[in-house]
Structure 1
Amino acid sequence: MATKYQFVKTISNPRLNASKTLKAQTQYELNKKIADQKEKWKAQIDKLNIQAKIENESKRAEELTKETEYILESYKNILMTSAQTNHVINFDSLLISNEYPPFIYNESAPLLEDYIRKHNVPSPSFWEDLLPFIKSTRIKKEDAARDDYNTSYEQYRSKKELEYRQYLESKASFEKNKNNHNQLFIRIRDGYLSHDTESICDYFLLVLENSPLPKGISLDVEINYIPESCALIIDYMLPNQNALPRTVSYSFVKTRKEITEKQMSQKEFDAFYDSIIYQLALKTIHEILSADINNSIATLVFNGYVHGTSLATGNDFTSCIVSLSVTKDDVLRLNLERVDPKECFRNLKGLSIGALKNLSPVKPYLQFTKNENRFVESRDIITNVENIPNIAKMPWEDFEHLVGGLFEKMFNVHSGEVKVTKASRDGGIDIVIYNPDPIHGGKFVIQAKRYNIVVPVSAVRDLYGTMINEGATKGYLVTTSYFGSDTHKFAQDKPISLIDGSFLVHLFQEHGYTVKITTE
């Protein structure tokens, strides 16, 4: 029986795993049915693609959210992670112990036998005695084989010697790097244990470098050590708000066909920023003091700085926004896994002003003066001060060291460090005090004036200018004579103490010394 349809075709779509047989009475009708069916399949595929994109974007949003949550957790747990870690440096694990591998040359040396065979050199036979040309032919082939062998062997030897020289160079470089690496860590280890100042700074820098930080925060720190008072000063460059993450989650919005972010409110972010800064401060002092197995630190000062831009002037600036001075007992008695970072910082008498986002500057408890070459070794004048008939007549350099010795007695209770500057008559400061006391501490400058007449007002003006340039919190003007009314008036509203001859005698008496000042 004849079929009703003259045109039949089966088409398929691998993407949908579908097939269909189409029938028509004309080719035109069949082509139209094929086109219609393909259009239907295309619509189905487009729908599947849209669904797949939604699923993929939704899955991507979930993955981004998980990654964000992980990053935020690493920020929120900065202090806890540090508290659960041993920060003492294991130097044995840092030293390179492995040896450079022995020289191995994988290419085999050429063998003469191989070249004898290559040149088809025959073995000697009795025919050579009967037919000399046979011997002559053998000898020529043998000489050619030897020449070929010698050439190959020389190439082999040269190549081996070259590789051996390269090996020795690589080995020497390895040994040099290994030696330098090990000597560096041995120097830091041994120097730290022997209380070497540079090694102490290097050791604690290594402690901080070995402690991980959340993604987005890099370690930017300067460490200085004052051996006389066993004070370690950490100048830490803290992240500003722009460096911290604000996003808390991601979601795919179907109607807009895009992934959107959910961010912290400004209030939440400000609290988050405060927490991070306080955690970094506590983390740092905890790691330093818990790693101080040699008891090198009596006082640890943390100064946290931030780079910013003034909205009023547009100029860049750097502010110290947090400062903290602690002892080892202050920190090691804390359970840092359970504290509130901000409350803990305050309990340790840390300095900060308001919300840290404002970058309000505070005066560091203690700063390290880098131009230490201006200082000279103190001379012990105070021990024999009672043998000096009149300190107003003593050499001016000795008077500076005498005043330095007196202030060292006065500030010894707070582990203060007193330094005398190099001799100069240019009106510069004579004595610098680094006082780590958390309440009354700071950097003090002293000018000692061995006068027999009234001290001019210019002296206190010079001292005040020096205080500003030095970043000092207090100034002392000490003299063997007395101050006029203009000097007292200038100093009355400033952090300056005037110590005249009579009060200077009283200070010596308070510390068990009897001195005489006669200005006639």
Structure 2
Amino acid sequence: MYQIEVRHEGLNKYKVIKGNNIYVVQQKAEMQKRTWNEMWKKKQLQLNQKKARELAAKEKQQKKELAAKLTTEATEQLNTIQNTLLFTLDHVDTINWEDLKDTSSFSEIEPVKKDVIEIPREPLPSDELYNPKFGIMDRLMSKKRQKKIDEINELYKLDHEKWEKQKERVLKINQKNKEVYEREIADWIEKKEQFLANQKENNDAVENLKESYIQGNPDAIVEYCDMVLSNSEYPNFFPQEFELEYNPSNNVLLVEYLLPSISNLPTLKSVKYIQSRNEFKEEHLSDTALNKIYDNLLYEITLRTIYELFEADSIDAVHSIVFNGLVRSIDKTNGNEVEAWILSVQTPKKEFEEINLEQVDPKLCFKGLKGIGSSKLHSLTPIAPIIKIERQDSRFVSSYNIADSLDESDNLAAMDWEDFEHLIRELFEKEFNETGGEVRITRASRDGGVDAVAFDPDPIRGGKIIIQAKRYTNVVGVSSVRDLYGTVQHEGATKGILVSTADFGPDSFKFAKDKPITLINGSNLLSLLHKHGYKARIDIKQAKEILANNPLREL
């Protein structure tokens, strides 16, 4: 009887093939192996097909999940944009001065001084090791005794020489460790002292800025407001560029803010995975929806910026804010970058603080504040800002420590009042003559009446224009603006222009912003004078001193 054991590890099969003929048994065993191998191949094929189906299903599921994730991200991004104003209402915008200070400790680990290696004990002749032990024969035989003494002495000599070398090595190692430590600790102390010095210098700068801000220094107020707006969190595709100017004479903060272009906004609404085509399909905002979101965003940025500045104004330095919104975009007709002021608004702090920003419609709120702008901001229709920062003419010298960089000798704020009125009449005569207009000079007077009348032939913006000049060294109050408005109505004019060497108070801007009144302050006046080739300067502080010493020249 013959038998062969056959196994298949994959199928976990085992069988004993028996028979009387070895050849037959071998053939049966081979047949069994082939059968099992075929079974194994089919099983592997089925497993591979199952894995392939599972992988395909997994990939489809992953793509579905990816589409859902992209949709969620797109929705969140759009929600962030559409809640730009509400986002800031939950945040404290006041600068915490202590947070600006560096309170960290010097992080570099102090060098560790290595332990001094002790010098091994010096061998001494009196040590028991070097005291020979003499037996009876040593005492009887002097040579033998002496030999032992010589051997002991030689041993002591060798041991002592070895000790001397060990001592020298230890002293060298200790000296080297000492020198290395002294260099390392000196370097560490120097770095620590430099760190602490820099930390103190930076913290002192923060403290000085804080004290300067509390004392109402105009530069510190501007820097503080800059920090407030810089800390405001916006999506990374927002420009967040701005310029600030603070006027301490009327507590007005002027903000010129670069708004995002409509091309910066995301348009993706959702992403779907089309299983039958194995592809993703994106859905984007329509142009109409995008324009609506964009317009609303610009109104919200405007209100949010004003809110953050007023809220952070812990010393009540800012009584009014003028916000001018600028947009940079690409002119599709020529591919060049263009800039346009598209909105402007001025609002007193008290009036703005009465607004419930959680409930307002941003556009209606902006209009309620008498903001200037096109009804469709996405059209980028340019407007004339209420007040602009004058960047090109630095001859204006204010009473809040701005140096006079030019050498003009004529101080308009201190000149004779009649000469000043005459200069203004001449200036506007040049201005209106350029467009074919006519300026008729009225008599020079100090009674607050009409100084000049301009007739502009333009069919849209033209008509009769009343011009009034005020050579003032103090902030122009709202009463002067009311008087001009009354004169405009009495004269049947289409517009009134009030020119002053000083600035206008917040109430003056508030009164004028919804009326046909243009207010030209000292900075604007210098710019206009420069346009027509006049050279002059305005130094309010100097003018007050001159007029105080010469009452006849006072108003």
Using the size of structure 2 for normalisation, the TM-score is 0.66
Counterparts of 2:292 and 2:343 in 1: how far apart (Å)? 15
Instruction: Output the CA distance in 2 between the equivalents of 1:393 and 1:307.
Output: 39
1:232-271 paired onto structure 2 within 5 Å: 232-271=253-292
Aligned position for 1:66: 72
Q: Quick one: distance in 2 between partners of 1:284 and 1:21?
A: 82
Work out whether residues 445 and 467 of structure 1, in 8 Å CA contact, stay in contact via their aligned partners in 2: no
CA distance in 2, matches of 1:275, 1:180: 44
2:224 maps to: 203
Q: CA deviation at 1:466?
A: 2.1
Cα RMSD, aligned residues only: 4.3
Check the 8 A contact 2:413/2:473 in 1, yes or no.
Answer: no
Q: CA 1:446 to 1:294, structure 2 compared with 1: closer, same or farther past 3 Å?
A: closer
Change (3 A) 1:29 1:134: closer
Q: What letter matches 1:353 in structure 2?
A: S
Q: For 1:28 and 1:209, how far apart are their aligned partners in 2? A: 78
1:110 matched residue in structure 2: 116
Contact persistence 2:244–2:255 (CA under 8 A): yes
Report deviation, 1:515. Answer: 11
The alignment's TM-score, normalised by the length of structure 1, stands at 0.70
5+ residue gaps, structure 2: 16-28, 132-148, 399-410, 428-445, 447-467, 482-498, 535-551
Look up the match of 1:216: 237
Shift of 1:329: 1.1
- 2:412–2:471 contact (8 Å) kept in structure 1: no
Aligned counterpart, 1:312: 333
Stretches of structure 1 that go unaligned for 5 or more consecutive residues are 13-18, 386-390, 417-429, 449-461, 470-512
Matched, 1:141 2:162: yes
Change (3 A) 1:395 1:165: farther
Provide closer, same or farther for how the CA distance between residues 415 and 234 of structure 1 changes in structure 2, counting only shifts above 3 A.
farther
- Count, aligned residues: 427
The answer (yes or no) to whether the contact 1:78–1:214 under 8 Å persists in 2 is no
Equivalent positions of 1:3-402 (< 5 A) are 9=8, 11=10, 25=31, 34-100=40-106, 104-113=110-119, 116=120, 122=123, 125-126=126-127, 132-371=153-392, 373-376=394-397, 381=414
Whole-Å separation in 2 of the counterparts to 1:44 and 1:468: 88
SS at match of 2:273: strand
For residues 238 and 50 of structure 2, the distance between their equivalents in structure 1, rounded to whole angstroms, comes to 49
8 Å contact kept, 1:433–1:444: yes
The alpha carbon displacement at 1:161 in A equals: 2.2
Contact map agreement 1:71 1:215 (CA 8 A) in 2: no
Matched AA of 1:222: E
* 1:140 Cα deviation after fit: 2.2
Deviation at 1:200, TM superposition (A): 0.7
Given that 1:7 and 1:25 are in contact with CA atoms closer than 8 Å, whether structure 2 keeps it comes out as: no
Question: Residue 144 and residue 273 in structure 1: after superposition, are their counterparts in 2 closer, same or farther (change >3 A)?
Answer: same
For the structure 1 residues 408 and 393, does the alpha-carbon distance in structure 2 shift closer, same or farther, using more than 3 Å as the test?
Answer: closer
- State the alpha-carbon separation in 1 of the partners of residues 212 and 316 from structure 2: 13
- Displacement after TM superposition at 1:446 (Å): 10
User: Aligned residue for 2:494?
Assistant: none
* Superposition map of 1:374-453 within 5 A: 374-376=395-397, 381=414, 406=471, 411-413=476-478, 437-438=509-510, 439=513, 440-441=517-518, 443=520
Offset of residue 20 of structure 1: 9.3
Does the C-alpha gap of structure 1 residues 242 and 295 become closer, same or farther in structure 2, counting only changes over 3 Å?
A: same
Q: Distance in 2 between matches of 1:357 and 1:211?
A: 24
Q: CA deviation at 1:285?
A: 0.3
What does the per-residue CA deviation read over 1:25-47, in whole Å, with 9 as the maximum and x for residues that have no partner? 48777665554443333222221
Identity %: 21
Shift of 1:295: 1.6
Amino acid at match of 1:140: E
